[in-house]
Structure 1
Amino acid sequence: MHELKHYIQNYKQINIATTWLLLAAALVLILPSTALSVSGLEQWVTEYRGYISIIVISGIAYFIALLLVQAGQSVLEKQSETETMKKIHKMVKVMNTSEQAVVREFIFQKKDIISLPLEAAAVANLIDNCILVPALNSQEIIGTGSKIKLCINIKARALLDHKALGFPEGKMTEQQAQALKAARPAFAKEFYVRH
Protein backbone atom coordinates (compact mmCIF):
# COMPACT_ATOMS: atom_id res chain seq x y z
CA MET A 1 0.00 0.00 0.00
CA HIS A 2 2.81 2.37 0.92
CA GLU A 3 4.58 1.59 -2.36
CA LEU A 4 1.40 2.28 -4.34
CA LYS A 5 0.91 5.62 -2.56
CA HIS A 6 4.54 6.44 -3.31
CA TYR A 7 4.01 5.52 -6.97
CA ILE A 8 0.82 7.61 -7.21
CA GLN A 9 2.55 10.62 -5.65
CA ASN A 10 5.58 10.32 -7.95
CA TYR A 11 3.49 9.80 -11.08
CA LYS A 12 0.62 12.14 -10.28
CA GLN A 13 1.06 14.02 -13.58
CA ILE A 14 1.01 10.75 -15.56
CA ASN A 15 -2.17 9.67 -13.75
CA ILE A 16 -3.83 13.04 -14.43
CA ALA A 17 -2.78 13.00 -18.10
CA THR A 18 -4.02 9.41 -18.48
CA THR A 19 -7.35 10.32 -16.88
CA TRP A 20 -7.89 13.28 -19.22
CA LEU A 21 -6.79 11.30 -22.27
CA LEU A 22 -9.16 8.46 -21.35
CA LEU A 23 -12.08 10.83 -20.77
CA ALA A 24 -11.47 12.75 -24.00
CA ALA A 25 -11.11 9.57 -26.09
CA ALA A 26 -14.19 7.99 -24.50
CA LEU A 27 -16.21 11.17 -25.03
CA VAL A 28 -15.23 11.31 -28.72
CA LEU A 29 -16.29 7.68 -29.17
CA ILE A 30 -19.68 8.03 -27.44
CA LEU A 31 -20.70 11.39 -28.94
CA PRO A 32 -23.38 11.04 -31.60
CA SER A 33 -22.30 11.65 -35.21
CA THR A 34 -24.49 14.78 -35.38
CA ALA A 35 -22.48 16.41 -32.58
CA LEU A 36 -19.25 15.41 -34.28
CA SER A 37 -20.35 16.79 -37.65
CA VAL A 38 -21.16 20.16 -36.05
CA SER A 39 -17.69 20.35 -34.54
CA GLY A 40 -16.03 19.10 -37.73
CA LEU A 41 -14.55 16.01 -36.02
CA GLU A 42 -16.70 13.36 -37.71
CA GLN A 43 -14.27 12.53 -40.52
CA TRP A 44 -11.28 12.58 -38.17
CA VAL A 45 -13.01 10.28 -35.65
CA THR A 46 -14.11 7.88 -38.41
CA GLU A 47 -10.55 7.73 -39.76
CA TYR A 48 -8.87 7.22 -36.36
CA ARG A 49 -11.60 5.30 -34.47
CA GLY A 50 -9.35 2.24 -34.07
CA TYR A 51 -6.56 4.27 -32.47
CA ILE A 52 -8.99 6.13 -30.20
CA SER A 53 -10.45 2.78 -29.10
CA ILE A 54 -6.93 1.55 -28.26
CA ILE A 55 -6.38 4.69 -26.14
CA VAL A 56 -9.62 4.02 -24.23
CA ILE A 57 -8.79 0.34 -23.70
CA SER A 58 -5.21 1.19 -22.60
CA GLY A 59 -6.45 3.86 -20.16
CA ILE A 60 -9.00 1.49 -18.63
CA ALA A 61 -6.38 -1.27 -18.41
CA TYR A 62 -3.96 1.15 -16.69
CA PHE A 63 -6.47 2.06 -13.99
CA ILE A 64 -7.58 -1.56 -13.54
CA ALA A 65 -3.91 -2.48 -13.06
CA LEU A 66 -3.56 0.27 -10.41
CA LEU A 67 -6.63 -1.06 -8.59
CA LEU A 68 -5.31 -4.64 -8.72
CA VAL A 69 -1.93 -3.51 -7.38
CA GLN A 70 -3.68 -1.61 -4.59
CA ALA A 71 -5.80 -4.68 -3.73
CA GLY A 72 -2.69 -6.90 -3.77
CA GLN A 73 -0.76 -4.47 -1.57
CA SER A 74 -3.69 -4.36 0.86
CA VAL A 75 -3.80 -8.16 1.10
CA LEU A 76 -0.02 -8.36 1.61
CA GLU A 77 -0.17 -5.64 4.26
CA LYS A 78 -2.88 -7.51 6.17
CA GLN A 79 -0.88 -10.75 5.98
CA SER A 80 2.23 -8.96 7.21
CA GLU A 81 0.25 -7.37 10.06
CA THR A 82 -1.15 -10.80 11.05
CA GLU A 83 2.33 -12.38 10.98
CA THR A 84 3.74 -9.54 13.08
CA MET A 85 0.98 -9.87 15.69
CA LYS A 86 1.48 -13.65 15.84
CA LYS A 87 5.22 -13.13 16.46
CA ILE A 88 4.52 -10.54 19.16
CA HIS A 89 1.93 -12.71 20.96
CA LYS A 90 4.23 -15.72 20.87
CA MET A 91 7.25 -13.75 22.11
CA VAL A 92 5.33 -12.12 24.97
CA LYS A 93 4.33 -15.59 26.20
CA VAL A 94 7.86 -17.04 26.09
CA MET A 95 10.09 -14.08 27.06
CA ASN A 96 12.95 -15.16 29.28
CA THR A 97 14.28 -13.10 32.18
CA SER A 98 16.96 -11.40 30.06
CA GLU A 99 14.41 -10.27 27.49
CA GLN A 100 12.05 -9.09 30.23
CA ALA A 101 14.94 -7.13 31.75
CA VAL A 102 15.66 -5.38 28.45
CA VAL A 103 12.03 -4.28 28.08
CA ARG A 104 11.89 -3.20 31.76
CA GLU A 105 14.77 -0.81 31.00
CA PHE A 106 12.31 1.45 29.20
CA ILE A 107 10.35 1.69 32.45
CA PHE A 108 13.39 2.06 34.72
CA GLN A 109 14.93 4.75 32.55
CA LYS A 110 11.55 6.42 31.93
CA LYS A 111 12.37 6.77 28.24
CA ASP A 112 10.55 5.94 25.02
CA ILE A 113 13.80 5.50 23.08
CA ILE A 114 16.95 3.75 24.31
CA SER A 115 20.21 2.94 22.52
CA LEU A 116 20.69 -0.80 22.88
CA PRO A 117 23.53 -3.07 21.71
CA LEU A 118 22.62 -5.31 18.80
CA GLU A 119 25.11 -7.98 19.87
CA ALA A 120 23.11 -8.71 23.04
CA ALA A 121 21.11 -11.90 22.38
CA ALA A 122 18.06 -10.64 24.29
CA VAL A 123 17.97 -7.43 22.22
CA ALA A 124 18.37 -9.37 18.96
CA ASN A 125 15.51 -11.73 19.92
CA LEU A 126 13.22 -8.82 20.80
CA ILE A 127 13.96 -7.15 17.46
CA ASP A 128 13.48 -10.39 15.49
CA ASN A 129 10.12 -10.93 17.17
CA CYS A 130 8.90 -7.35 16.62
CA ILE A 131 8.80 -6.32 20.30
CA LEU A 132 11.49 -3.69 19.70
CA VAL A 133 11.72 -1.62 16.52
CA PRO A 134 14.09 1.09 15.26
CA ALA A 135 13.03 4.42 16.73
CA LEU A 136 13.59 6.37 13.53
CA ASN A 137 12.01 5.49 10.18
CA SER A 138 15.26 6.19 8.38
CA GLN A 139 17.24 3.93 10.70
CA GLU A 140 18.13 0.45 9.51
CA ILE A 141 19.57 -2.48 11.40
CA ILE A 142 22.79 -3.34 9.60
CA GLY A 143 25.22 -5.87 11.06
CA THR A 144 26.04 -6.21 14.75
CA GLY A 145 28.51 -4.79 17.23
CA SER A 146 26.91 -1.38 17.52
CA LYS A 147 24.13 0.34 19.41
CA ILE A 148 20.91 1.43 17.78
CA LYS A 149 18.08 3.61 19.05
CA LEU A 150 15.11 1.34 19.69
CA CYS A 151 11.61 1.75 21.04
CA ILE A 152 8.85 -0.65 22.03
CA ASN A 153 6.64 -1.52 19.08
CA ILE A 154 3.28 0.20 19.55
CA LYS A 155 1.57 -3.07 18.57
CA ALA A 156 3.28 -4.85 21.48
CA ARG A 157 2.62 -2.28 24.22
CA ALA A 158 -0.86 -3.48 25.17
CA LEU A 159 0.49 -7.01 25.71
CA LEU A 160 3.45 -6.01 27.89
CA ASP A 161 1.73 -5.94 31.25
CA HIS A 162 3.31 -6.45 34.70
CA LYS A 163 3.08 -10.23 34.41
CA ALA A 164 4.70 -10.32 30.94
CA LEU A 165 7.58 -8.12 32.20
CA GLY A 166 8.18 -10.21 35.31
CA PHE A 167 7.05 -7.62 37.85
CA PRO A 168 5.63 -9.03 41.07
CA GLU A 169 1.91 -8.72 41.74
CA GLY A 170 0.79 -6.11 44.23
CA LYS A 171 3.11 -3.74 46.04
CA MET A 172 6.78 -4.48 45.46
CA THR A 173 8.91 -5.30 48.50
CA GLU A 174 12.42 -3.94 48.93
CA GLN A 175 13.79 -7.44 48.31
CA GLN A 176 11.83 -7.77 45.05
CA ALA A 177 13.00 -4.31 43.94
CA GLN A 178 16.63 -5.30 44.62
CA ALA A 179 16.14 -8.56 42.69
CA LEU A 180 14.80 -6.64 39.67
CA LYS A 181 17.67 -4.17 39.91
CA ALA A 182 20.18 -7.03 40.02
CA ALA A 183 18.54 -8.58 36.95
CA ARG A 184 19.16 -5.48 34.83
CA PRO A 185 21.29 -6.19 31.76
CA ALA A 186 25.02 -5.58 32.02
CA PHE A 187 24.89 -2.84 29.37
CA ALA A 188 22.36 -0.93 31.52
CA LYS A 189 24.65 -0.50 34.54
CA GLU A 190 25.59 3.00 33.39
CA PHE A 191 21.95 4.01 33.84
CA TYR A 192 21.62 2.90 37.48
CA VAL A 193 20.00 5.59 39.57
CA ARG A 194 21.72 6.06 42.90
CA HIS A 195 19.49 6.94 45.88
Structure 2
Amino acid sequence: MKRWIQHFYQLNRLNWVMVWLMLCCSIILLFPTGLMQGAVSQWAHTHAAWLGVGMLVAISYFCSQAALIAWEWVCEEWQARRQQDQLAQMIGFLDFNEKAVLREFVLQRKSVINLPVTEPAVKNLMDAGVLTFAYGKPAHGKEDETQIRALMIALPARPLLTYKVLGLSRGKMSDEQVEQIMNARPKFAQKGLQR
Protein backbone atom coordinates (compact mmCIF):
# COMPACT_ATOMS: atom_id res chain seq x y z
CA MET A 1 0.00 0.00 0.00
CA LYS A 2 2.88 2.36 0.76
CA ARG A 3 4.11 1.79 -2.77
CA TRP A 4 0.77 2.94 -4.19
CA ILE A 5 0.71 6.05 -2.02
CA GLN A 6 4.17 6.87 -3.37
CA HIS A 7 2.91 6.04 -6.89
CA PHE A 8 0.05 8.55 -6.45
CA TYR A 9 2.49 11.25 -5.36
CA GLN A 10 4.58 10.58 -8.46
CA LEU A 11 1.49 10.83 -10.68
CA ASN A 12 0.14 13.85 -8.82
CA ARG A 13 -0.15 16.04 -11.93
CA LEU A 14 -1.78 13.30 -14.00
CA ASN A 15 -4.26 12.65 -11.18
CA TRP A 16 -5.20 16.34 -11.04
CA VAL A 17 -5.59 16.47 -14.83
CA MET A 18 -7.92 13.46 -14.69
CA VAL A 19 -9.92 14.97 -11.83
CA TRP A 20 -10.37 18.22 -13.76
CA LEU A 21 -11.22 16.34 -16.96
CA MET A 22 -13.87 14.30 -15.18
CA LEU A 23 -15.33 17.30 -13.35
CA CYS A 24 -15.43 19.58 -16.41
CA CYS A 25 -16.89 16.96 -18.73
CA SER A 26 -19.49 15.77 -16.24
CA ILE A 27 -20.56 19.32 -15.28
CA ILE A 28 -20.98 20.36 -18.94
CA LEU A 29 -22.84 17.15 -19.83
CA LEU A 30 -25.08 17.16 -16.76
CA PHE A 31 -25.75 20.91 -16.71
CA PRO A 32 -29.39 21.65 -17.64
CA THR A 33 -29.56 22.72 -21.30
CA GLY A 34 -32.33 25.21 -20.52
CA LEU A 35 -29.89 27.29 -18.42
CA MET A 36 -27.21 27.38 -21.12
CA GLN A 37 -27.85 29.86 -23.90
CA GLY A 38 -26.57 30.54 -27.37
CA ALA A 39 -23.10 29.46 -28.44
CA VAL A 40 -22.31 27.59 -25.18
CA SER A 41 -25.39 25.40 -25.54
CA GLN A 42 -24.64 24.71 -29.22
CA TRP A 43 -20.97 23.94 -28.48
CA ALA A 44 -21.93 21.51 -25.67
CA HIS A 45 -24.46 19.82 -27.96
CA THR A 46 -22.01 19.39 -30.88
CA HIS A 47 -19.14 18.15 -28.65
CA ALA A 48 -21.22 15.97 -26.33
CA ALA A 49 -19.65 12.78 -27.69
CA TRP A 50 -16.12 14.02 -26.98
CA LEU A 51 -17.14 15.22 -23.54
CA GLY A 52 -18.57 11.76 -22.84
CA VAL A 53 -15.34 10.12 -24.01
CA GLY A 54 -13.31 12.47 -21.75
CA MET A 55 -15.49 11.59 -18.79
CA LEU A 56 -15.19 7.86 -19.53
CA VAL A 57 -11.39 8.13 -19.85
CA ALA A 58 -11.12 9.85 -16.46
CA ILE A 59 -13.49 7.39 -14.77
CA SER A 60 -11.62 4.44 -16.35
CA TYR A 61 -8.31 5.83 -15.10
CA PHE A 62 -9.52 6.01 -11.50
CA CYS A 63 -11.23 2.60 -11.72
CA SER A 64 -8.00 1.05 -13.01
CA GLN A 65 -6.02 2.64 -10.17
CA ALA A 66 -8.54 1.30 -7.64
CA ALA A 67 -8.39 -2.17 -9.25
CA LEU A 68 -4.57 -2.19 -9.09
CA ILE A 69 -4.62 -1.18 -5.42
CA ALA A 70 -7.18 -3.90 -4.63
CA TRP A 71 -5.12 -6.50 -6.55
CA GLU A 72 -1.94 -5.58 -4.68
CA TRP A 73 -3.76 -5.75 -1.35
CA VAL A 74 -5.12 -9.21 -2.20
CA CYS A 75 -1.62 -10.38 -3.22
CA GLU A 76 -0.07 -9.01 -0.02
CA GLU A 77 -2.73 -10.71 2.11
CA TRP A 78 -2.25 -14.00 0.27
CA GLN A 79 1.52 -13.81 0.66
CA ALA A 80 1.24 -12.97 4.38
CA ARG A 81 -1.08 -15.95 4.95
CA ARG A 82 1.20 -18.20 2.94
CA GLN A 83 4.22 -17.13 4.99
CA GLN A 84 2.25 -17.67 8.21
CA ASP A 85 1.26 -21.16 7.06
CA GLN A 86 4.86 -22.00 6.16
CA LEU A 87 5.99 -20.68 9.53
CA ALA A 88 3.38 -22.77 11.35
CA GLN A 89 4.43 -25.84 9.36
CA MET A 90 8.11 -25.22 10.15
CA ILE A 91 7.37 -24.79 13.86
CA GLY A 92 5.35 -28.01 13.80
CA PHE A 93 8.41 -29.94 12.58
CA LEU A 94 11.17 -28.42 14.74
CA ASP A 95 14.01 -30.82 15.46
CA PHE A 96 15.67 -31.32 18.85
CA ASN A 97 18.48 -28.77 18.27
CA GLU A 98 16.12 -26.07 16.98
CA LYS A 99 13.86 -26.50 20.01
CA ALA A 100 16.93 -26.26 22.26
CA VAL A 101 17.93 -22.96 20.61
CA LEU A 102 14.44 -21.53 21.05
CA ARG A 103 14.29 -22.73 24.67
CA GLU A 104 17.31 -20.52 25.38
CA PHE A 105 15.06 -17.45 25.13
CA VAL A 106 12.85 -18.89 27.89
CA LEU A 107 15.73 -20.20 30.03
CA GLN A 108 17.68 -16.93 29.88
CA ARG A 109 14.46 -14.89 30.24
CA LYS A 110 15.54 -12.49 27.52
CA SER A 111 13.92 -11.39 24.31
CA VAL A 112 17.31 -10.78 22.64
CA ILE A 113 20.25 -13.17 22.97
CA ASN A 114 23.57 -13.53 21.19
CA LEU A 115 23.71 -16.62 19.01
CA PRO A 116 26.21 -17.92 16.44
CA VAL A 117 24.52 -17.41 13.05
CA THR A 118 26.70 -20.10 11.44
CA GLU A 119 25.34 -22.81 13.78
CA PRO A 120 23.10 -25.09 11.61
CA ALA A 121 20.07 -24.98 13.94
CA VAL A 122 20.28 -21.18 14.23
CA LYS A 123 20.74 -20.82 10.47
CA ASN A 124 17.70 -23.02 9.77
CA LEU A 125 15.56 -20.96 12.16
CA MET A 126 16.72 -17.74 10.52
CA ASP A 127 16.07 -19.06 7.01
CA ALA A 128 12.56 -20.13 8.04
CA GLY A 129 11.83 -16.70 9.52
CA VAL A 130 11.52 -17.89 13.13
CA LEU A 131 14.59 -15.92 14.25
CA THR A 132 15.60 -12.48 13.02
CA PHE A 133 18.30 -9.92 13.71
CA ALA A 134 17.42 -7.85 16.77
CA TYR A 135 18.92 -4.53 15.72
CA GLY A 136 18.58 -4.70 11.95
CA LYS A 137 20.54 -6.75 9.47
CA PRO A 138 24.29 -6.16 9.86
CA ALA A 139 26.39 -4.83 7.00
CA HIS A 140 28.24 -7.40 4.93
CA GLY A 141 31.61 -5.72 5.47
CA LYS A 142 33.41 -8.46 7.36
CA GLU A 143 32.45 -12.08 6.94
CA ASP A 144 33.52 -13.85 10.09
CA GLU A 145 33.09 -17.62 10.35
CA THR A 146 32.26 -17.40 14.05
CA GLN A 147 29.73 -14.61 13.80
CA ILE A 148 27.77 -14.10 16.98
CA ARG A 149 24.84 -11.74 16.50
CA ALA A 150 22.01 -10.45 18.65
CA LEU A 151 18.90 -12.36 17.54
CA MET A 152 15.27 -12.38 18.61
CA ILE A 153 12.20 -14.43 17.83
CA ALA A 154 10.36 -12.88 14.87
CA LEU A 155 7.01 -11.30 15.71
CA PRO A 156 4.90 -13.58 13.45
CA ALA A 157 6.47 -16.67 15.08
CA ARG A 158 5.87 -15.65 18.70
CA PRO A 159 2.21 -16.72 19.01
CA LEU A 160 3.07 -20.11 17.50
CA LEU A 161 5.87 -20.91 19.97
CA THR A 162 4.13 -22.31 23.03
CA TYR A 163 5.61 -24.11 26.02
CA LYS A 164 4.28 -27.37 24.59
CA VAL A 165 6.02 -26.80 21.24
CA LEU A 166 9.31 -26.05 23.01
CA GLY A 167 9.01 -29.12 25.25
CA LEU A 168 8.57 -27.14 28.45
CA SER A 169 6.01 -27.47 31.19
CA ARG A 170 3.99 -24.49 32.40
CA GLY A 171 3.76 -25.88 35.91
CA LYS A 172 6.56 -26.76 38.32
CA MET A 173 8.98 -29.21 36.75
CA SER A 174 10.68 -32.01 38.61
CA ASP A 175 14.44 -31.93 39.21
CA GLU A 176 14.84 -34.68 36.63
CA GLN A 177 12.99 -32.66 33.95
CA VAL A 178 15.04 -29.57 34.72
CA GLU A 179 18.25 -31.60 34.48
CA GLN A 180 17.17 -33.06 31.12
CA ILE A 181 16.44 -29.59 29.74
CA MET A 182 19.73 -28.20 31.04
CA ASN A 183 21.67 -31.12 29.52
CA ALA A 184 19.87 -30.59 26.20
CA ARG A 185 21.09 -27.01 25.92
CA PRO A 186 23.20 -26.25 22.84
CA LYS A 187 26.96 -26.48 23.29
CA PHE A 188 27.47 -22.77 22.66
CA ALA A 189 25.00 -21.92 25.45
CA GLN A 190 26.73 -24.32 27.87
CA LYS A 191 30.11 -22.77 27.04
CA GLY A 192 28.66 -19.34 27.72
CA LEU A 193 27.56 -20.50 31.17
CA GLN A 194 30.96 -21.95 32.04
CA ARG A 195 32.80 -18.68 31.32
Give 1:180's aligned residue: 181
2 CA distance for matches of 1:94 and 1:31? 68
Aligned to 2:26: 26
Which residue number in structure 2 is paired with residue 118 of structure 1?
Answer: 117
Distance 2:12 2:108 in 1: 46
Where has structure 1 moved over 6 Å in runs of 4 or more?
Answer: 140-144
- Are residue 71 (structure 1) and residue 55 (structure 2) matched? no
Q: CA deviation at 1:77?
A: 1.9
Find out whether 1:57 has 2:56 as its counterpart.
yes
Deviation of the 1:105 alpha carbon: 2.3
CA distance in 1, matches of 2:175, 2:161: 23
What's 2:7 paired with?
7
1:156 matched residue in structure 2: 157
Q: Tell me the C-alpha RMSD between the 2 structures.
A: 3.5
User: Residue 18 and residue 127 in structure 1: after superposition, are their counterparts in 2 closer, same or farther (change >3 A)?
Assistant: farther
Name which of structure 1's ranges 87-96 and 28-37 shifts more when overlaid on structure 2: 28-37
TM-score (norm 2): 0.73
* Matched position secondary structure for 2:152: strand
1:140, 1:76 → 2: CA distance? 29
Q: C-alpha offsets along residues 92-144 of structure 1, whole Å, 9 cap, x if unaligned? A: 221012111222222233333344443222222223323224446x6489799
Judge which range, 14-23 or 97-106, deviates more: 14-23
- AA matched with 2:180: A
Q: How does 1:124-163 map to 2 (within 5 A)?
A: 124-135=123-134, 139=137, 146=147, 148-163=149-164
CA separation in 2, counterparts of 1:147 and 1:43?
80
- Deviation larger for 21-30 or 6-15: 6-15
Q: Which secondary structure does the structure 2 equivalent of 1:33 belong to?
A: coil
Contact map agreement 1:25 1:56 (CA 8 A) in 2: yes
- TM-score (norm. length: structure 1): 0.73
Which blocks of at least 5 consecutive residues in structure 1 are unaligned? none
Q: Deviations over 1:64-99 (max 9, x none)?
A: 112211221122122212211221221122101211
Amino acid at match of 2:34: T
Find the aligned partners of 2:45 and 2:149 in 1 and give their Cα distance. 67
Give the aligned residue type for 1:3.
R
Q: 1:22 and 1:111, CA in 2 relative to 1: closer, same or farther beyond 3 A?
A: farther
Q: CA deviation at 1:191?
A: 5.3
SS in 1 for 2:34: helix
Bigger mean CA offset, 95-104 vs 166-175: 166-175
